[in-house]
Amino acid sequence: MNSPDDAIHSWREAFAIYLNPRVMTMFFLGFAAGLPFLMVFSTLSYWLIDNNISRTTIGFFAWVGITYSVKVFWAPVVDRLKLPLLGNWLGQRRSWILLGQLGIALGLGGLALSDPSQNLHAVVALALLVAFSSATQDISLDAYRIEAVVPEYQGAMSATYIFGYRVAMLVAGAGSLYIADFYSWQTAYFSMAALMAVGIVTVLGVSEPKQALKAGTDLLEQKTVAFVEQSRHLPPRLHRIVAWFTGAVICPFADFFKRNGTFALVILLFIGLFRLSDITMGIMANPFYSDLGFSKSDVATVVKLFGFFATILGSILGGVLVVRYDVLRPLLLGAVLVALTNLLFAGLAMVGPDLMGLAIVITADNFSGGLSNAAFIAYLSGLTNRAYTATQYALFSSIMTLPGKFISGFSGIVVDNLGYVHFFIYAGAVGIPAIVLVLVLMRKKRQLSNG
């Protein structure tokens, strides 16, 4: 990407990037990625509330989301293992995306047939199936997104992906709440399972991207071949396992540290902390709205609808800013806004159930989230080597969510003991380290440019 000082694109050129066919396709794939998330997160928490499940138990349901955070452990399989039949028909990336989508539809259908008040363990198991299948879809979908276009387009790709993702979240959030309000939770979950057809049809219609080696990868691959040759004395099956593990697991991580040196640790720390503030408060959002006195229809109309348009505006602006000014300046802006807007929730907790106040808070929060996420996804995409796209991006996205998911598991305990005001102040404060680390990354980039 260009340096921050090389703003060579006009605003018209920056916006025109959204007309690229590959960029537009990401809307539908983003929809397929976003649909299952709320169904095992905040929408699920609302369902559990309706079945009189305790807030502390609901808080622990956030750990279902850890599935997304540990996907790096099976990402090498998705990256390197070709699926029989499906792999020959669709290619490496699309076959794994489709397999994940089928698992999501099956899991959502199973949840529709479940009753949390009677068998909470079945709900947990099916939620884990949806989360595992969704994470598997994400692994290959992220690789597809990065491999489909040049790095300069990644901001727009991520923005369009977020657009589709947020439409799906509007459907899975507001849509499922409306359906549950007027029909039943079972109907809501069956409807979401059926809507996975959008992603399935898209995967069948798009073309498989080309994978390519990045400069400097050839030498690493040669060293890998030499290492594998040294293990030929092992039994044939064990030798094949060593060869596969070396190429699929060791090489992606060795490549990342080879390119970044010890500063790679700073990068990984930043990735782990950037979304900490946002994720920490996420699982308690719907319980907060409910406890404050808002109805499901209020939440569907204000939170989901206002939040949707604010997120889209923020993500589009974030994509444009990445094209025009590179990625670090939008990252800094997003980190500051996310931390500040989380504090607005503390103010709303003191004000009470005011719809106008809710609309203002949600608009600000989702705008900042859309902008920061578009820039952050573009940043992560730029870190990957296209020879190891799925594995390296899975590493980054796992680190991105794991600390927040773990901490959010205790959010119900904080709310039960300290209340919402102190919880949201805490959620805002945990965003400060991310701001500091963006400044460190900017300083490092200036040093490299001057050196």
135-172: pLDDT as tens digits: 999 988 888 888 876 666 676 777 788 888 878 988 88
What pLDDT sits at residue 1?
40
* Average per-residue pLDDT for the chain: 80
Give the closest residue to 150 by CA, choosing from 321, 16, 17, 3: 17
Residue 23 has pLDDT above 80, yes or no: no
Residue 14: how many other CB atoms lie within 10 Å: 19
- Give the Cα separation of 278 and 220 in Å (integer): 37
pLDDT > 70 fraction of the chain, expressed in percent and rounded: 83
What pLDDT sits at residue 5?
41
| pLDDT 10s digits, 400-415 | 777 777 777 777 788 8
What pLDDT sits at residue 143?
85
Residue 394 has pLDDT above 60, yes or no: yes
Please count the residues of the chain: 451
Q: Could you tell me where the beta strands, DSSP code E, fall in 119-262?
A: none
Residue 77 has pLDDT above 50, yes or no: yes
The model scores a pTM over 0.75:
no
DSSP secondary structure code for residue 384 in this structure: -
Spell out the domains of the chain, with CATH numbers in brackets. 11-209+224-450 (1.20.1250.20)
| pLDDT 10s digits, 355-392 | 888 888 889 888 998 898 888 888 888 888 777 777 77
Q: Answer for the pair 277, 430: CB distance below 8 angstroms, yes or no.
A: yes
Residue 80 has pLDDT above 90, yes or no: no
What pLDDT sits at residue 232?
57
- Give the Cα separation of 360 and 343 in Å (integer): 13
What pLDDT sits at residue 107?
94
Give the closest residue to 137 by CA, choosing from 71, 212, 64, 44: 71
What pLDDT sits at residue 245?
63
Across residues 419-435, what is the average pLDDT? 88
Q: Answer for the pair 314, 368: CB distance below 8 angstroms, yes or no.
A: yes
Q: Which residue has the higher pLDDT, 47 or 58?
A: 47
- Give the Cα separation of 137 and 200 in Å (integer): 11
| pLDDT 10s digits, 206-231 | 888 876 555 445 545 555 555 455 55
pLDDT > 90 fraction of the chain, expressed in percent and rounded: 19
Q: Alpha helices, DSSP H only, in 352-431? A: 355-383, 389-408, 411-418, 420-429
Helix (H) or strand (E) holding 110: helix 92-112
What pLDDT sits at residue 198?
93
Across residues 238-244, what is the average pLDDT? 59
Residues 6+ apart with CB under 8 A from 414: 422, 423, 426
Least-confidence region, from 193-202, 230-239, 280-289, 341-350:
230-239
CA-to-CA dists, residue 291 to 7, 274, 335, 358, 419, angstroms = 47, 29, 28, 14, 11
Across residues 98-127, what is the average pLDDT? 90
| pLDDT 10s digits, 101-110 | 999 999 999 9
Q: Answer for the pair 40, 189: CB distance below 8 angstroms, yes or no.
A: no
- Give the Cα separation of 217 and 194 in Å (integer): 42
What pLDDT sits at residue 4?
39
Helix (H) or strand (E) holding 320: helix 307-325
- Whose tokens are 């030499």? That residue is 226
Burial class, 432, CB count within 10 angstroms (exposed 0-12 / middle 13-18 / buried 19+): middle
Question: Best-predicted range by mean pLDDT among 94-108, 131-145, 237-251, 261-275?
Answer: 94-108
What pLDDT sits at residue 108?
95
